[in-house]
Structure 1
Amino acid sequence: MSVTTVIRHRFFWPVLALVVLLVSNVFFTPDFFKLEVRDGHLYGSLIDILRNGAPLILVATGMTVVIATGGIDLSVGSVVAIVAGLACYYISKQPDQNAVSGVLTAVALGLGLALLLGLWNGVLVAGIGIQPIVATLILMVAGRGLAQLITGGQIITINSDPYDLIGAGYLFTVPFAILVALFVVFLAVLLTRRTALGMLIESVGGNAEASRLAGIRSRRITIMVYVFCAFCAGIAGLMVSSDVSSANGNDAGLWIELDAILAVVIGGTSLLGGRFSIAGTVLGALIIQTLTTTIYTTGIPPEVTLLFKALVVTIVCLLQSPAFRAKVFRGRRRPVAPPATPASEEPKVEVPA
C-alpha cells in the first residue's frame, strides 16, 4: 500500500489528529499512557477518556443512523435529561435505594420513556412530514421543561450502589460504561453491516421517494432510526446520572447533541444522508473527548475553552476535505496551453496569380 493511498484513506486525518492529541498530553502528564490495576479496577488516563466518552459515543452512534437517512436529532440532550431525571426520581422514592428490583424498574421506565420520545420524533418526521430540524427542536425545548417538571426544578441526589454500577462501576476490572458502549456499538454495526438494514438506511438517505417507489418502507425505517437514537440517548442519560449519583434537569446532557453531530461529521458521514460509518463516528467521539481532556490537562483558560475546541475541530474537518487539501497542498492546476504548431506543419495557402 503506497503512502498516497494511506493519506487518501478517509480515516487517516482523524486518526492522525487523535494520535497528536494523545501524544501532546505526555508533555504535561508524563505518565499519561500508564495503565495500572488497583483494588481490582483498571485505572489510567486512557481509561478515563473511554469512560467519560462513553455517553457521547452512544449518542453519536444513534445520531449517525439518523443523519444517514437525511435527518437530524436535536433533542438527544433533552432525552438524556428526561431519562436521568425519571430514573433518579423513582429511585429516590424507594424505601431501599439499594434494592436491585427498584433500580431495574427505574432503568426500564427511563428507557421505555426514551423509546416513546424517539417514536414521537419519528412520527412527526415520517408520519406528519415536519422537517427533522423543526420536529426535534420541539422536543429539545419542551424536553428541558419536562425534565425540570420531573425533578421539581431541583437536583435529585440518590445513594444507590446498583445504580452507580451503570456509570461509575466496574466489571472484570473495566468500567461498566465502556462495556455498555462497546456492546451498543457492536450491535449497531452488526445490524447495519451484516444485514440489509444498513443498505436500506442508506437508500432512504439517498432518495426517500425513490426508495418508497422501489418497495422500501421508508417511513418505517425513518421512525426506527429516531427510536434507536433516543434509546442510545436514554442509556447515556442513565450513565451521566449514575456517574454523579444525581439528576439535574437543566444541565444533564446540555449541548451533547452538538458534540454528537461533530463526531458524526469528523467520522466522515455526510449531513446530506446516504453512506455512513459508525466506526468513523466512534473515532470522532474519541477525538472530541480526548480534546476535552487535553484542554483540562494543558490548563487552557476556561473562557477560551470552547473557542479552542471549535478551532481544532475545524482544522480536522478541513484536513479531511479532499477539495480543501487539493487547493492548499496541491494548488490549482493551471490550464495547459496547446502546443504550437511547427512551421513545417502549418497549412500552406496558395495565392492565385
Structure 2
Amino acid sequence: MTPSPSPLRDLLDRAGTTGAVYAALAGVLVIGSLFVAFQGSHLFTAANTVDLFTRGSLLGFLAIGQTLVILCRSLDLSVGYVAALSTMVSAIVMAGDPSRIVLGIGATLGLAALIGLVNGLVVTRLRVNPFITTLGTGLLIKGYLDTRFQGPAGSIPAEFQTFGLSRIGVLPVSTLVMLALAVLAILFLRRTRMGFHMYAVGGDSEVARLSGIRPEIPVITAHVLCSMTAGIAGLLLASRFGTGNTLVYNNGYELEAIAAVVLGGTYLLGGRGGVAGTVAGVFILATLDTVFNTLSVDPFVKDVLRGAIVIAAVAVYARGRHGRTSVRPRFTSGGAPPAPPPPPPPTATPSARGGDR
C-alpha cells in the first residue's frame, strides 16, 4: 500500500518546479527583511530596491542566454569575456557620438553572435566538449583584451547611458528590458518549433535525431543567442561605466549565471527547466547580495554564504524531484491489484491416427 503524500509534497507537486522557486524567492525576501529588521534597518527602502533590481538586470541577461544553452545539454563559460569585449566594442564604435549608437549596438551584437556561432560549430561539428570549447574561447578573448588594451577605452554618449542609469520610480529601465527579453524567451521556448527542438535535444539527442530533428541546429542556435544576451549585458555595463572596461571578466559572471539557472530549476543535464524559473533564481541571488550589503557582511564570508545557500537549495530541489519520481503508486485506482487475465483455452491438437483418418 503506497503511503499518501504529505500536504507540503502535494503542494509542491501542484505548483511545479517554477512555483517552488518563486515560493523560495518569497521566503528569501521575508527572511532577509527580518534579518535586516533585527539590525534596525529596512530592506525595502528605495535605495535597496533599486540596488536589487539593478543587480538582477545584469545577471538576468546572462542567465537567460545560459538557460537556452543548458536546456540543450551544453554550457557557455565565455559569457563574462564576451560581455567584457562587448563593452570595448560598443564604446569604441560609438565614440561618444549619438549618431553612432545604432552602429555600436549592431557591431556589438553582431560580433557576439559570431562568437556564439563559432562556439556552436566547434561543439557540434568538431565534437569538442562545450566546457573546453567555451573556456578556450573565453581565454582567447581575455588574451586579446589584455594585449590590445591597457585600460578603459572609447566613450558612450549620454543618450545611451540612460539604458543603464535611468529608471521609472524604483524600477530601472534595464530591468524592464531584461523582463521583456525573458518574456520573449519564454514564448520562444513554448511556442516555436526551435524551442521544442531545444528541449528534445537536451532530453535525448539520439531520440531527437530519430524523430527527424537535426541536433546540431538547436545547439548552435542556443550558443548564438547566449552570446548575444552576453553582448546585451556588455552594452548595459558600458552604459553604466560610460566607457569600455576590460576588467569585467574578473567578476565571475559566467559562474553566477549558471548558479542562477540551476537555482531556477533548470536541469544541468538538459531537457527540463525554463526561463521563468531562471528569473526567480536571478532575483534570489540579487536579494542575497542586497541583504549581505545592507548587513555589511565581509565579501569573503558573503561568497561562502552564497555558495552554501545555492548548494543547499539545489540539493533540496534534487532530493524532492528524486522522491517524486522514485516512489510511484503501483495501482493507481487503490485497493486490491487487478486479477490476472485468464489463461487462453487449450487448443486440441489432432492425433496422428486421427489425422490419418
State the TM-score, normalizing by the size of structure 1.
Answer: 0.81
The amino acid across from 1:247 in the alignment is G
Equivalent pair of 1:57/1:282 in contact (CA under 8 Å)? yes
Q: Out of 2, 12, 33, which is 2:20 matched to?
A: 12
Counterpart of 1:208 in structure 2 is 205
| Pair 1:55-2:64 in alignment | no
Please state how far the C-alpha of 1:276 moved relative to its aligned partner. 1.7
| Pair 1:164-2:161 in alignment | yes
Gapped regions of structure 1 (runs ≥ 5): 35-42, 327-353
Please state how far the C-alpha of 1:184 moved relative to its aligned partner. 0.9
Cα offsets for 1:93-124 (capped at 9, x unmatched): xxxx2x32212211111111111111110111
| Pair 1:290-2:287 in alignment | yes
1:95-114 equivalences under 5 Å are 97=96, 99-114=97-112
Equivalent pair of 2:156/2:239 in contact (CA under 8 Å)? no
1:95-174 equivalences under 5 Å are 97=96, 99-149=97-147, 152-156=149-153, 158=155, 160-170=157-167, 174=171
The amino acid across from 1:297 in the alignment is T
CA RMSD of aligned residues (A): 2.4
CA distance in 1, matches of 2:152, 2:170: 31
1:242-261 equivalences under 5 Å are 242-252=239-249, 254-261=251-258
Equivalent pair of 1:148/1:250 in contact (CA under 8 Å)? no
CA distance in 2, matches of 1:22, 1:12: 20
Q: Out of 88, 91, 105, which is 2:91 matched to?
A: 88
Greater alpha carbon shift after TM alignment, 45-54 vs 56-65: 45-54
How many equivalent pairs are there? 312
**What percentage of residue pairs aligned between the two structures are identical?**
30
Equivalent pair of 1:32/1:44 in contact (CA under 8 Å)? no
CA distance in 2, matches of 1:190, 1:293: 30
Identify if the C-alpha distance between structure 1 residues 12 and 78 changes in structure 2 by more than 3 Å, giving closer, same or farther: same
Please state how far the C-alpha of 1:191 moved relative to its aligned partner. 1.0
| Pair 1:316-2:313 in alignment | yes
Greater alpha carbon shift after TM alignment, 197-206 vs 227-236: 197-206
Equivalent pair of 2:156/2:238 in contact (CA under 8 Å)? no
CA distance in 2, matches of 1:316, 1:309: 11
CA distance in 1, matches of 2:33, 2:280: 13
Q: Out of 65, 69, 75, which is 2:68 matched to?
A: 65
Gapped regions of structure 2 (runs ≥ 5): 1-5, 324-357
| Pair 1:276-2:273 in alignment | yes
Please state how far the C-alpha of 1:12 moved relative to its aligned partner. 2.7
Greater alpha carbon shift after TM alignment, 229-238 vs 4-13: 4-13
CA distance in 1, matches of 2:168, 2:28: 31
CA distance in 1, matches of 2:240, 2:157: 11
Cα offsets for 1:175-213 (capped at 9, x unmatched): 210121011111101111123333211110111122122
State the TM-score, normalizing by the size of structure 2.
Answer: 0.80
Greater alpha carbon shift after TM alignment, 58-67 vs 312-321: 312-321
Equivalent pair of 2:188/2:195 in contact (CA under 8 Å)? yes
Equivalent pair of 1:318/1:324 in contact (CA under 8 Å)? no
Equivalent pair of 1:103/1:163 in contact (CA under 8 Å)? yes
Counterpart of 2:261 in structure 1 is 264
Please state how far the C-alpha of 1:220 moved relative to its aligned partner. 1.0
CA distance in 1, matches of 2:124, 2:73: 12
Equivalent pair of 1:73/1:133 in contact (CA under 8 Å)? yes
| Pair 1:32-2:32 in alignment | no
Equivalent pair of 2:80/2:252 in contact (CA under 8 Å)? yes
